[in-house]
Structure 1
Amino acid sequence: MDKDEKRQERDFVRISVRNLVEFILREGDLDNRMGGKTDKDAMLLGARIHRKIQRQMGSSYHAEVPLRITVPCGKLDIVVEGRADGIMDEDGKIVIDEIKGILKELESLEDPVPIHLAQAKCYAYIYGNEKQAREVDVQMTYCQMETEEIKRYRQTFSLEDLEAWFLDLVHQYEKWAVFQIEWRKKRNASIKRVEFPFPYREGQRDLVVSVYRSILRKKKLFIQAPTGVGKTIASIFPSVKAVGEGLAEKIFYLTAKTITRTVAEKTFQTLKDQGLAYKVITLTAKEKICFCGKAECNPDACPYAKGHFDRVNDAVYDMLTHTDDMSRSALEEYARRYDVCPFEMSLDLATWVDAVICDYNYVFDPNAHLKRFFGEGGKKEYLFLIDEAHNLVERGRAMYSAFVCKEDFLEVRRIVQKRDEKFCKALSSCNETLLALKRECDRYAVYESVSHIVVRLMNLLTEAERFMEECGDEEVLEKVRDLYFCVRDFLSIHDRLDENYLIYTEIAEDGRFYVRLFCVNPAVCLNEYLNYGVSTVYFSATLLPIGYYKKLLSTETDDYAVYAHTPFPEENRRVLIGMDVTTRYTRRSKEMYRRFAEYIWKTVKARPGNYIAFFPSYQFLEDVYEEFQNLDEKGEVFCVIQDSGMSEEEREEFLAFFEEERTGSLIGFCVMGGIFSEGIDLTEERLIGTWIVGTGLPQVCLERELLKQFFDEKEMNGFDYAYLYPGMNKVLQAAGRVIRTDTDRGMIYLLDDRFCQNHYRSVFPREWRYVTACRVRDVERETAAFWQDA
């Protein structure tokens, strides 16, 4: 057996230079008070600056040089790799150049940042060792992002010293590499023994096969699956199997709401009950998991922030090697034991576990995404399972849009005007530029470009950074930070602008003036992160029409799509369309509200039970509720009403009413598209029917009209994209509350004459093949007939 064959038999772990130095060498306090300091990428914003400096360095300068070294460590090898920004040969002397773009003034930088220097030293050793050099020069090149002024630091290292330092660094990582290898073997062996935990429902086996095939072929898959098909286990089970076969390394299960995370947790636990060795963590929002009540992440306000980075690696290693329970309670126990921030510790644990259950933000949001996975050195070995994927269109638009408001600059200027002349001047300059745009604006104006604003905003960021470093007044700092992050977001999104964006200015109803960068189609931005994955599975009970979601969630033209067959008996559901009611603005009246109330009243008279009525707005809800009370003079029906801004406790109390035994009827009055119209599970007699008042169309507003115009110009039927599809999704979600299991029976009342139109019915799910049109006079008869057949 030759050396190469022996080498192939050895286990190995790969890590990027940047990830290695940031992980092993981090130390000190957790401190988010400085905008730039919280973001490790703040000094890496200047890809353009990198390229410009590299082009200026002459023919002897080699840019973006890939480097790699394999370090034997016991029974395994650690492969360290990365790209050096530049390598020069100066008369036989090797010079490694590391370029960093910064926002603050160069005068404030006395020495190279230790982490940056460490990165450069790694490249120096790898390249110097490869060339058998006796010594290597390391040059740190810092460039101020706004002025493009450059400051360099130069240092000579002997290869002997670099070797001792580098090997010590790698050997500190060795125990983590050993854990990875040993755990992966244990995990994969357990995966082979796991079987699908339930008898397959009709169509469920096909779903499992479709998910596995998509992963195998490295494709995206869109699944339209009616409630109760079991799409969570049908996506998780084949994904786990794929990980065991080396097709991927980590699963990200992404959700829009907390309740769906619980379903995913239970599904993984079901597989673990079979003996699956799988570490699964659910990321909890910082504000919810913070030990201090208020998430002030700095050593002055939080004892867990002080020295956090000195202790967190030990906490993570201890937990990983002693338990597979990554639950919130277990995490909090270890965080308290080591006096570290539980939220930051959970992010570190996510690096080492097999599955991460989290909100969309952690993958897609440019301000909140997990840079350790989706930045430089990301492994691109992930599986993305996107639950309730219909939510990702609007969430994506929000994440990749940005704005600045003229009045915010004036407010901060008023606060700091006696404190800092240079900062005030930068604020005034931005205000003047925005004022000029405001004078051109009637109600709104669409622009091809606002690049002239960008230069002034970049200057403002520089002055804001300096001001925040020097100011000690926390109340003032809070206002400045808010503006700082807003401007930073705007500049970040401005760099993304392409044909999928609209730029417009707007004078709001309160007189405030905004410049907006509106992401109309988020597909390109979303796929920037999805490209780190092997495969993506989008699934929802309301992913109709699939072509709409394909267009706005993916940039590929060959994605797979599956329409899962419902296992539920068709006779268990009845869909009625109210032909004599409408929510059109022109026909709203007291008489119309009373007719809606009569639909509700006559239904519960014919069949008492638990129901939910969904309305297009709180005002509409109140108007119909008032008429319903007039009909229910004796108070025979128990009613609970959704309030805007309900706390989590109030939501639980609301749903608890549906769990109680009662002889009469219970009606929940709710808003369509709100917290109770998706994600809640009320089975059997807990919910036997729902009235859906209106077509769910979003209110006509500037943003919707611009959406409509955008898609009309692309000959894609702007009304459907801006109004119909988002509206009907709310309708289908609300209707999905009724039939949750194969033994449920229930009625769905679609109360708007527009539901009779083919345009609306074309978006109905396949299982609504038979619907009945009726009038208020028919409701009692139709309802009684359905339940009589039960």
Structure 2
Amino acid sequence: MSEAIHISVRTLVEHVFRSGSIDSRFRSPSTLLDGTRIHQKIQKTYQDSDQKEVYLRTEIPFDDFSFIIDGRCDGLLFREDEVIIDEIKSFSQPSEQLEQGGYPVHWAQAKLYAYMYAMDNDLQEIFVQLTYVHVETLVKTYFKKKYQFSELVTFVGKVIEEYVPYAKLLHEHRKKRNESCKELAFPFDSYREGQRKLAGVVYKTILDEKNLFAKAPTGIGKTISTLFPSVKAIGEGLLNRVCYLTAKTITRTTAEEAFKKMRSGGLCMSSITMTAKDKVCFKDETVCQKDYCEFANGYYDRINEAILDILTNETGMSREVIEIYAKKHTVCPFEFSIDLAYAVDCIICDYNYIFDPRVSLKRLFEEQKKQTALLIDEAHNLVDRGREMFSASLNKELFLQLKKEFKGVNQAIFEAASKLNAWFISLKKENPDKHEFTVDQLDEELIEHLIHFVECSEQVLQTETSQTLLEAYFMVNNFLKITELLDEHYVIYAEKIKNDLTVKLFCIDPSKLLKQMGKGYRSKIFFSATLSPLSYYQDILGGEEEDYAISIRSPFSSEQVDVYINPLSTRYRDRDQTKDSIVSAIQSLIKNRPGNYFIFFPSYQYLLTVYDQFKQKDAETRTMIQATGMTETEREAFLEAFKPNQTETLLGFAVLGGIFSEGVDLIGDRLNGVVVVGVGLPQLCFERNLIKEHFYQKGKNGYDYAYVYPGMNKVLQAGGRLIRSEEDHGTIVLIDDRFLQRQYQMLMPLEWQQYTVGSP
């Protein structure tokens, strides 16, 4: 029995016929919308007997495979004795740059549709027409050819023959993968307490096509507890792909290591780790143009060979592995990883590849989504990341700059920027005494000015380069996109900073849009040690009543950690008075219990104040301080200093919610304790107060939503650095009198609730 391979017409022809270079010279992001608009415009000119968006499907046996190919042709036209397949394509480059006779990939697409229709309707000949339409001038260029059915049979056979090596590679890999997934045993000698429970509920969630919110303690092994059952689900045919989403590089490494461990146990499964374009680019500047970058020049002529090579020889495609093969085949490492993402079994990447409407992996078709599970690591981070992804802002200063830059150079840009600058000035005049204020709604005049600015910018950017104009163009485009999403989950506000004025479309509640972007996937697993309280995270991350939720107790005993609450005030107004007492508490701790400690503060300024005071009193103790904008090498060196069995004390001063308070594993004596100064509340500000008021109006505790829950999350993350295994022991000191209040104690893990008031 032949194996069925389902593929769309477009995917097939793009694989076989795409050629040429990557060229990211300016192109309007509205091209896709223009394409849809133009398709509809052309289709409206069809005669009554003609058909549009005709679904066609065929099955072609080849070797041991049966290729099921389908798609929708733009038009099916009937003219006297002629049957015509019409393929409509929009283009924006000058008409003289249109390839004479049309592009091979477009002919291939139309010929495949022609083959299917002729086959189904027993036609011996059929016409194929390419209709090219310029997006601005709407000038149409037609290319038309007649094909005998026998010619199309030969053509389709050659296309399939070209595709077979890739199809065969994927098919054989998936066969091995599925068998190895079925046979794979849990890659450790035994489950930790709670680990089996988490793995079991993840598998059931995928089986039942549900979503899960899981609060699972630090050190339990959440990565393997979510990946292993997902791998088993692939073996059972429930899934074909897993996306492991995370906010931090360090947790991506943990996922890579989990795959290495499973592969050493016999797993045959491919994974890729996505890296941001500016980090992985080989050139000094990220300019994706063929005349600047040899990795962009001719990329599509070499990419199929590069993909076959890496998939034949590698399973774990980390950044380093991708770079090796990208250099070998002279292909752009970023675009290479994007193309590979559609072929591999697991994608390890940042949240934005799935949830950000501007950069998501848009080619994951609905059918593929249904066979894909999202594993969302450290899901508490998705709240603020979601707000960021769905918000947009504009500032006056940029338009003032453009006004100056284009005066006497380009009248259209000068006038468009002047109008926008004037709009900001009038908004300032309407609110003379306010530094921050809400705006009820955006007036139509602003939207018109912005649309006009985009149109003027597009004309200039086709032929000229201006960094300021390009920056403004993308900012305005993004702003206009977000205006389409505005609803009760948004607040519009303005903020004055010196002479500048910024208007922000602020997504206060990202739940609806996160749910929308995650729609269609078989299962979404949100997990973190600090999804506390679960009800808050279910609400704000777009959970629904039928979702599953689980809270797993820590496998570590309360005897492993000594918790002290020192009831000093760390409120802003009291900080000067209590900094001496905080320094004394740290000194008392290291005198009685020498070792390696992290000391976390709610802000960098507060950290510096206490650090200076500490150094005045104790110049001998070895200290390190988290610097702003540390490189990965500097971070690694910072953590490397925390060595086991040291004879002298080491204090690492760091910021709550920063790079060292999450995803850091310092096992055993590398870390002996954690001091947390303050309850982590975000700084009082206009934006946080808008969040507070918004949720109060929704009948929820707005102060908790805006301040308490995000703050305590940082505290729990910082404290979670300490106990990472059954052998770890240590001390946690919580410095703030509010830790004794019920609303904060309810958010603490059980093992912290056996505390002593005072200092060690």
| TM-score under structure 2 length normalisation | 0.92
Corresponding residue for residue 673 of structure 2: 689
Of 463, 471, 474, the residue aligned with 1:470 is 463
CA contact (8 A) 2:84 2:126 kept: no
Q: Does the aligned pair in 1 maintain the 2:366–2:520 contact within 8 Å?
A: no
**Distance in structure 2 (CA, Å) of the matches to 1:618 and 1:285:** 27
**Which moved further from structure 2: 162-171 or 359-368?**
162-171
Q: Distance in 2 between matches of 1:92 and 1:494?
A: 50
Distance in 2 (alpha carbons) for counterparts of 1:184 and 1:746:
46
SS of structure 1 residue aligned to 2:497: coil
Given residue 449 of structure 2, which amino acid in structure 1 is its aligned partner? R
- Give the counterpart letter for 1:759 in structure 2: Q
Question: How far does residue 739 in structure 1 lie from its aligned partner after superposition?
Answer: 0.9
Given that 1:378 and 1:532 are in contact with CA atoms closer than 8 Å, whether structure 2 keeps it comes out as no
1:163/1:462 CA distance change after superposition, 3 Å: farther
- For the residue of structure 2 that corresponds to 1:588, the secondary structure is helix
1:282-293 mapped onto 2 (5 Å cutoff): 282-293=273-284
Q: Which residue of 2 aligns with 1:10?
A: 2
Secondary structure, counterpart of 1:767 in structure 2 = helix
Q: Which moved more, 1:713-722 or 1:488-497?
A: 488-497
Deviations 1:614-638 (A, max 9, x none): 1111111121122222332xx3421
Verify: 1:638 aligned to 2:622, yes or no: yes
Distance 1:493 1:94, change over 3 A: farther
Q: State the AA in 1 paired with 2:340.
A: L
- Asked if structure 1 preserves the Cα contact closer than 8 Å seen for 2:106 and 2:130, the reply is no
Partner residue in 2 for 1:342: 333
- Look up the match of 1:21: 13
Match of 1:629 in 2: 615
Residue 204 of structure 2 is aligned to residue 216 of structure 1? no
Q: Is the 8 A contact 1:138 1:157 kept in 2?
A: yes
Pair 1:175-2:175 in alignment:
no
Q: 1:231 aligned to 222, 229, 236, which one?
A: 222
2:579 is aligned with 1:593: yes
What letter corresponds to residue 394 of structure 2 in structure 1?
Answer: V
Q: Deviations over 1:561-605 (max 9, x none)?
A: 1111211111111222222x122223232x211111111111111
Taking the TM superposition and a 5 Å limit, the aligned residue runs for 1:241-390 are 241-373=232-364, 379-390=369-380
1:448 aligns with 2:441: yes
Structure 1 residues 459 and 10, CA, compared in 2 at 3 Å: closer, same or farther? farther
What corresponds to 1:546 in structure 2? 534
Kindly indicate whether the alpha-carbon contact (under 8 Å) linking 1:380 and 1:531 is maintained by their aligned counterparts in 2: no
Q: Residue 527 of structure 1 aligns with which residue?
A: 515
Aligned mates of 1:217, 1:55 — CA distance in 2: 44
Structure 1 residue 120 displacement after superposition? 4.6
Distance 1:598 1:208, change over 3 A: same
User: 2: distance between equivalents of 1:167 and 1:459?
Assistant: 50
**CA offsets, 1:514-569, max 9 Å, x none?**
23222222233223332242111111111111111111222532111111121111
8 A Cα contact 2:27 2:462, kept in partner: no
Change over 3 Å in CA distance of 1:638–1:196 after alignment to 2? same
Match of 1:614 in 2: 600
From 469, 488, 491, the equivalent of 2:477 is 488
Amino acid at match of 1:552: I
Please report how far the alpha carbon of residue 367 of structure 1 lies from its aligned counterpart in structure 2 after TM superposition. 2.5
| AA of the residue aligned to 1:256 | A
**CA distance, structure 1, for counterparts of residue 505 and residue 89 of structure 2:** 28
| Aligned equivalent of 1:414 | 404
SS of the aligned residue for 2:439 comes to: strand
Instruction: Give runs of aligned pairs for residues 57-68 of structure 1, distance below 5 A.
Output: 60=49, 62-68=51-57
Instruction: Specify the alignment match of 1:461 in structure 2.
Output: 454
Secondary structure of the equivalent of 1:737? coil
CA contact (8 A) 1:124 1:138 kept: no
Change (3 A) 1:323 1:675: closer
Q: 1:91 to 1:586 in 2, by over 3 A?
A: farther
Find the residue that maps to 1:368 and give its secondary structure.
coil
Q: Distance in 2 between matches of 1:152 and 1:439?
A: 49
Which residue type is aligned with residue 624 of structure 1? V
Using the alignment, how far apart are the partners of 1:57 and 1:500 within structure 2?
42
Match of 2:185 among 195, 198, 201: 195
2:569 and 2:98 map into 1 onto residues whose CA distance is 66
Q: Deviations over 1:9-42 (max 9, x none)?
A: 4212222233233333222122223243xx6x84
Give the 3-state SS of the residue equivalent to 2:225 in structure 1. helix
1:425 Cα deviation after fit:
3.4
Whole-Å separation in 2 of the counterparts to 1:639 and 1:155: 74
- The amino acid across from 2:327 in the alignment is R
Offset, 1:104: 7.8
Residues 367, 257 of structure 1: CA spacing in aligned structure 2 closer, same or farther, 3 A cutoff?
same
> Cα–Cα, structure 1 residues 17 and 484, in superposed 2: closer, same or farther, change >3 Å?
farther
1:762 aligns with 2:738: no
Aligned to 2:386: 396
Aligned in 2, Cα 1:129/1:449: closer, same or farther, shift over 3 Å?
Answer: farther
| Whole-angstrom distance in 1 between the partners of 2:450 and 2:54 | 34
> Which amino acid letter does the alignment assign opposite residue 646 of structure 2?
R
Q: Is the 8 A contact 1:54 1:61 kept in 2?
A: no
The 1:129–1:432 alpha-carbon spacing in structure 2 relative to 1, beyond 3 Å, is farther
The alpha-carbon deviation at position 326 of structure 1 amounts to: 2.4
Q: What secondary structure, in the 3-state scheme, does the structure 2 residue paired with 1:470 have?
A: coil
Q: 1:663 to 1:697 in 2, by over 3 A?
A: same
| 1:74-93 matched pairs, under 5 angstroms | 74-89=63-78, 93=82
* Cα contact 1:659–1:686 (8 A) shared by 2: yes
User: C-alpha offsets along residues 303-358 of structure 1, whole Å, 9 cap, x if unaligned?
Assistant: 22211111111111122123335233332222222111122212222222211111
Structure 2: tracts of 5 or more residues without a match: none
In structure 2, what is the equivalent of residue 31 of structure 1?
Answer: 23
- Give, as a single letter, the amino acid of the residue that structure 1 aligns with 2:498: D
* Residue-by-residue CA offset, 1:475-524 (whole Å, 9 max, x unaligned): x432222222212222222333333222x241332332223222222233
2:664 to 680, 685, 697: 680
How many angstroms apart in 1 are the aligned matches of 2:753 and 2:237? Answer: 42
Asked if 2 retains the 8 angstrom alpha-carbon contact of 1:137 and 1:154, the reply is: no
Aligned residue identity for 1:550: Q
Q: CA RMSD in A?
A: 2.8
The percentage of counterpart residues that share the same residue type is 43
Q: 1:497 to 1:470 in 2, by over 3 A?
A: same
Q: 1:746 Cα shift?
A: 1.4
